[in-house]
Amino acid sequence: YIKGTDANADVAVVAVKLKDIPEDTLNTIKKATLGDSDSVTVGEGVIAIGNALGYGQSVTTGIISAKDREVTIEEKTMKLLQTDAAINGGNSGGALLNAKGEVSGINVAKYSSDGSSSASVEGMGFAIPISSVKSIISNLETKETREKVSDDEKGYLGISSKYDVSEEISEAYGMPTGVYIYETISGGPADKAGIQAGDILTEFDGQAISSYDTLKSVMQYYKAGEKVKVKIAYADGREYKEKEVTVTLGTAKDAGVSTSQE
């Protein structure tokens, strides 16, 4: 069950009901200790745990190759730990542990080469430094545990969007990252809350929103009638200013929803 997500940090917090965990698993598992990734040193030994290629839990070892590597993944640029511990498809989201068994990072990506003409790339895996997301995790843990709601119950904002403000667009034009609102439905929930066309939606219920797909994914867990705080950025001259508004989510009918609206 989802508690909260932060698309910009590529982190989510989920909950599992104790009754859904087999007793033999409960008797075996232990809570992981979050370490301090700021204090790791290049050359320090690490262990990566994951589900490489979907074959089941696997463990690889290596060292910290570099700190604060700027890596762009799906149009998001993040500062990551680099490791030569083997990280492959299925390892993403697994723990990168130090020698004490503390979580130093969250495995997220690897570099690879395509084509016979490319130089071979090995030993370049990356992990989100745990210290950079501790406060985000602590905030998401306080959120209400949610389940996906049916289409009949689902809440809507009553907006449409044609593009996202990616990091590249943000840097080029000085706009905040988020969802550019192309149109608000007259009399709909967003319109009533004072959200206008041209605004950029950056946060929904305390969760950072980096794309329209992220917004739609988050809103699967919210019912019509719920009051939700939404952060938007609006143009004030040549600058963007931020404000928070409260939106009462509407039904699909209230929001005038079509296939391109949320």
Confidence at residue 115, expressed as pLDDT on a 0 to 100 scale: 44
Contact 105, 49 (CB under 8 A): no
Section 20-46 average pLDDT: 94
Rounded CA-CA distance 77/69 in Å is 10
Q: Considering the chain, what is the average pLDDT of its residues?
A: 87
Contact 232, 242 (CB under 8 A): yes
Section 170-176 average pLDDT: 86
Question: 100: pLDDT confidence band, cut at 50, 70 and 90?
Answer: very high
Contact 67, 157 (CB under 8 A): no
Is pLDDT at 130 greater than 70 in this prediction?
Answer: yes
Is pLDDT at 226 greater than 90 in this prediction?
Answer: yes
Question: 259: pLDDT confidence band, cut at 50, 70 and 90?
Answer: very low
Which of these, 60, 75, 74, lies nearest to 107 by C-alpha position?
60
Section 214-239 average pLDDT: 92
Question: 57: pLDDT confidence band, cut at 50, 70 and 90?
Answer: confident
